[in-house]
Amino acid sequence: MDMRTVEKIEYGLASAVRISPDVISDLDVPGRFIAFDTETTGLDPDKDCIVELGAVVFEHGVPTETFQSYVNPEVSIPEEVSALNHITNEMMQAAPTEEIIYPEFMKFLGTAAKGEIMICGHVAAFDLSFLCKTLNRIGIDANFRFVDTRQLATQIPELTHHSLAAVAEYFNVPHEHTHQAKEDALTSGRILCKMLERNRNI
């Protein structure tokens, strides 16, 4: 499944629907949105688990609140994954389990879990598929609405590469700590703000 094009994610109690504007000017972005990212044990939400959650609340273009936590998936992290995100099995020993951290995270998300506040992310369907799968497994209801900064980046003709790093460089957004959930979420949120600012100036 290509997470760059998935329109709807549904795992029992938890779902997420993509906001798919034809052009960025169609976006109805409120003053408040939440940028979100994860680090995981692999690429398949049906088999793999989240090992780090990161989220940043933006108010009128300014980051105001952050959330970051490792999550003990109670499964082993493959060596090749640890080499990429520097999250090790040893680090998981002190990390909270899913049952502990997800109720806390849902409090942080607030009404975003009811679709009242927009979620953004870079290839956001990937991260939200893992989140929805986990929430359903532990019995938490959620219905998210999300926008994908990668999808929006493909609408900019002069942008030929659409990775988070490439889009951040294009918009002069600092992006030093890749594969860290909170930092990647912050970068994605700042990119969305730049995109909206760019659109207003066109």
Each of the 202 residues of the chain gets a pLDDT tens digit; together they read: 677 788 899 999 999 999 876 645 556 566 889 999 999 999 999 999 999 999 999 999 999 999 999 999 999 999 999 999 999 999 999 999 999 999 999 999 999 999 999 999 999 999 999 999 999 999 999 999 999 999 999 989 999 999 999 999 999 999 877 789 999 999 999 999 999 887 766 5
Question: What whole-number distance in Å separates Cα of residue 188 and Cα of residue 123?
Answer: 10
Q: Give the number of domains in the chain.
A: 1
Give a yes or no: residue 2 inside a domain.
no
Q: What is the pLDDT of residue 4?
A: 77
Q: What is the pLDDT of residue 27?
A: 60
* Sheet containing strand 62-70, strands side by side: 8-11, 14-18, 142-148, 118-121, 32-40, 50-59, 62-70
The answer, as to whether pTM is greater than 0.85, is: yes
Give a yes or no: residue 44 inside a domain.
yes
Give a yes or no: residue 151 inside a domain.
yes
Q: What is the pLDDT of residue 199?
A: 72
Give a yes or no: residue 157 inside a domain.
yes
Question: What whole-number distance in Å separates Cα of residue 41 and Cα of residue 2?
Answer: 18
Q: What is the CATH number of the domain that holds 185?
A: 3.30.420.10
Q: How many CA atoms lie within 13 A of 92 on its CB side?
A: 22
Give a yes or no: residue 1 inside a domain.
no
Give a yes or no: residue 3 inside a domain.
no
Q: Which two tokens stand for residue 188?
A: 């994605």
Question: What whole-number distance in Å separates Cα of residue 165 and Cα of residue 118?
Answer: 22
For 196, the domain range is 8-201
Give a yes or no: residue 73 inside a domain.
yes
Q: What is the pLDDT of residue 24?
A: 57
Q: What is the pLDDT of residue 106?
A: 98
